[in-house]
Structure 1
């Protein structure tokens, strides 16, 4: 049974990013949207240990601890997600 198609309007920036992600993965924009929708519906499970680690990291950020990273550096790294330029974030400075 064929799926019924729907037209969904998005702004130019979103459309461009969806096309770029689809091209990078070799799939259609519809498949990208379906994957993102499925991901959004997936509950995130986090262990007490992971939650405690996040709490420690937030406390370090709020205190201005030296081990934190500037926003623009993190923003540049996040922009590489889903692209061939993606690399894991460095663990130390």
Structure 2
């Protein structure tokens, strides 16, 4: 049985990214959206060891240890993702 089609409106940037992802994977935009929806509904499993490591990292961030990177610097770097200006994050 064929599924009923729906029209969902998205902004131009999102539409472009969906089309690019679909083209890269050789599937339709509808299949990309379906897979992203299924992924967002899947529970994330994390080991107790990984969770403890994340807790240690978060404690370091909250205490302002030198090894942490300021939010503004990370946010600025994230803005370059998918652009010609993208470079790997500079290691201190």
| TM-score, normalization by structure 1 | 0.71
- In the other structure, the counterpart of 1:46 is 46
- State the shift of 1:63 in Å: 2.6
The separation in 2 between residues aligned to 1:66 and 1:20, in whole angstroms, is 39
| TM-score, normalization by structure 2 | 0.71
- In the other structure, the counterpart of 1:59 is 59
- State the shift of 1:15 in Å: 1.1
After the TM superposition, which residues 1-93 of structure 1 pair with which residues of structure 2 at under 5 Å, given as runs? 1-69=1-69, 70-71=73-74, 72-73=76-77, 75=78, 79=81, 93=92
- State the shift of 1:53 in Å: 0.6
Q: Which of structures 1 and 2 has the bigger CA Rg? A: 2
Cα deviation code 1:17-72 (max 9, x no counterpart): 11121122221110110000100110112222111111111122223333334313
Which structure is richer in relative contact order (CA contacts within 8 A, separation 6 or more)? 1
- State the shift of 1:76 in Å: 5.4
* RMSD of aligned alpha carbons: 2.5
